[in-house]
Amino acid sequence: MYDLIIIGGGPAGLTAGIYAQRMKLKTVLLEKEGLGGQIALSDIIENYPGFPSISGMELMQKFEGHAKGLGLEIKLTTVEGISLDGNWRVVKTHEGELRAKAIIIATGAKPRKIGVPGEKEFLGKGVSYCATCDGPFFRNQKVVVVGGGDTAVKEAVFLAKLAKKVSIVHRRDQLRAEKILQEKVLNTPNIEVFWSHMLKEIKGTKTVEGVFLEDMKTNSRKYVEAEGVFVFVGINPTTDFADVEKDEKGFIETNERMETSVKGIYAAGDCRVTPLKQVSTAVGDGAIAAYAAESYIEELK
């Protein structure tokens, strides 16, 4: 029996764990894969206060060290569902059921697929969703980056340090990333941007050899040689196990206290509906969720 169960070990979950420990709540954090979340895969973070430049992995190690230093219990397991039993919230895992008075869902989101021919077939054979993980395999080669947001542009700049050439494929005629990131792209000589283009097909034999792009203005196609394709077109929330109100994309609806549609269940970070998905906002969410959960638990007493 716990006071609080936190599902997810990224920035939001670890922050909630830190606050819960300081509030002396009996807490366990459940994580399926490994602590840190998607941001741990990021090569460099330049907008987290106090750290002008730090790798995602290093920052998350600091979060983890802080939480463990306060005695936070962490279990590696997969959550299959959540149910209610009176004032108890029941979490079903691969190892059995856990009960708590409150739950914080902080499961984040995963990269979205584009669904073009060759994407699935060449996964791990040239197709990737993580430049930090796989970028070094494409040193001095040609790669394509699909997307125009912060992640796509940031990862393109990182890949440009390794690859011979980086081609950014973007559906619009201007990037959506932060202005400072856009400037980096436009000032990097081995980055080319295909404006108003869509990736239509990934070609190759045993590994990726090139891609077909479609010009959205002329509907003409062109072939671009590339050994690697990095896809950054958004994220899908990891919320299938939670029976709470969500938007049309599956992100959990909450109020300003991170309360979901089910009393005693909270959501924090990238898995919820939020206008900005950053480490700093996830941290704020986690703190608010823990504070609100503690108030709810006190009310039960």
Tell me how far apart the alpha carbons of residues 33 and 138 are, in angstroms, rounded to a whole number: 26
Among 3, 43, 85, 133, the active-site one is 133
- Point out the catalytic residue in the list 43, 134, 150, 285: 134
Catalytic: 133?
yes
Cβ contacts of 171 within 8 Å, gap of 6 or more: 148, 196, 197, 198, 216
Q: Which residue has the tokens 């994407």?
A: 119
130 is catalytic: yes
Catalytic pick from 3, 43, 85, 130? 130
In the residue annotation, 271 being an active-site residue is answered as no
Annotate 123-139 with three-state secondary structure. Answer: ECCCEECCHHHHHHHHC
DSSP 8-state class, residue 290: H
Dihedral sign (CA 43, 47, 48, 53): positive
**Strands (DSSP E) found in the chain:** 2-7, 27-31, 73-76, 79-85, 88-93, 96-105, 109-111, 127-128, 142-146, 165-169, 191-194, 197-204, 208-215, 221-225, 228-231, 235-237, 265-267
Which residues are known to be catalytic?
130, 133-134
